[in-house]
C-alpha cells in the first residue's frame, strides 16, 4: 500500500468494490480533472453540474482519485454553500442576509420566504451572505436568477409561475 493512504486515514484497498453508474461518472470526472492545478473545486463543480448534488458516495470517489481523505473532501463540500449535499428541490429561493440587504428589509423578506415556502417540499429556502448586489438590496435568487429589490409580491409571483 502506498505510504500516504494509511497516513491520511484511508482504508487499505482490497478487491475493487462494484460501483454504481453515478460512482463511475464521478470517478471519470475526477480522473479527467485530477492533473489540473487546484482540481478539487473544479471536480466538485462538475459533479454538481452533472448530478445536481454531491452525494456521500461522490465524496468517497473523489477522495480516492485525488488520494485525499474523505474528511478533506467533505470539509470542502460542507464549507462552500455552492455545493448541495442532498438532491435539489424543484425550486429554490436564496435570500441575501448580509448587512447591506439586512438594512433594506432582507430579514423580513427571508421570514416571508420561510413562511410562504417552508411547508412545501418542492421549494428550498436558504440564506446567502452576499451576492455582491448590494446596491439593489434586498437581493434574492429565484431558481438561480439573481433579482434586486425583491419584495414579498415577487415571492408570490414566483410561486404563481411555479404552479403553472
Question: Residue 6: is its pLDDT beyond 60?
Answer: no
Question: Residue 16: is its pLDDT beyond 70?
Answer: no
- C-alpha cell of residue 24: 463511475
- pLDDT higher at 63 or 17: 63
CA distance 60 to 70: 6
pLDDT digits (tens, 9 = 90+) for 96-141: 999 999 999 999 999 999 999 999 999 999 999 999 999 999 999 9
H helix runs in the chain, sequence order: 3-7, 21-33, 39-51, 56-66, 70-79, 99-102, 106-117, 152-163
Q: Which of 143, 144, 141 is nearest to 127 (CA)?
A: 141
The reported pTM is 0.67
Strand order in the sheet with 145-147: 123-128, 91-96, 140-142, 145-147
Q: Which of 17-26, 29-38, 151-160 has the lowest mean pLDDT?
A: 17-26
Name the residue with cell 435539489.
88
Q: What are phi and psi of 110, to 5 degrees?
A: -65, -45
Question: Residue 17: is its pLDDT beyond 80?
Answer: no
Confidence tier at 18 by pLDDT (50, 70, 90): low
Amino acid at each position: 500500500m502506498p505510504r500516504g493512504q494509511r497516513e491520511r486515514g484511508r482504508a487499505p484497498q482490497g478487491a475493487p468494490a462494484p460501483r454504481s453508474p453515478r460512482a463511475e461518472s464521478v470517478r471519470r470526472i475526477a480522473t479527467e480533472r485530477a492533473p489540473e492545478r487546484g482540481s478539487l473545486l473544479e471536480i466538485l463543480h462538475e459533479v454538481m453540474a452533472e448530478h445536481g448534488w454531491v452525494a456521500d458516495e461522490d465524496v468517497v470517489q473523489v477522495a480516492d482519485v485525488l488520494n485525499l481523505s474523505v474528511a478533506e473532501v467533505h470539509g470542502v463540500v460542507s464549507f462552500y454553500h455552492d455545493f448541495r449535499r442532498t438532491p435539489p428541490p424543484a425550486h429554490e429561493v436564496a435570500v441575501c442576509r448580509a448587512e447591506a440587504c439586512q438594512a433594506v428589509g432582507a430579514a423580513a423578506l427571508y421570514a416571508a420566504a420561510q413562511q410562504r415556502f417552508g411547508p412545501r417540499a418542492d421549494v428550498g429556502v436558504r440564506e446567502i451572505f452576499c451576492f455582491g448586489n448590494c446596491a439593489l438590496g434586498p437581493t434574492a435568487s429565484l431558481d438561480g436568477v439573481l433579482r434586486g429589490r425583491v419584495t414579498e409580491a415577487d415571492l408570490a409571483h414566483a410561486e404563481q409561475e411555479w404552479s403553472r
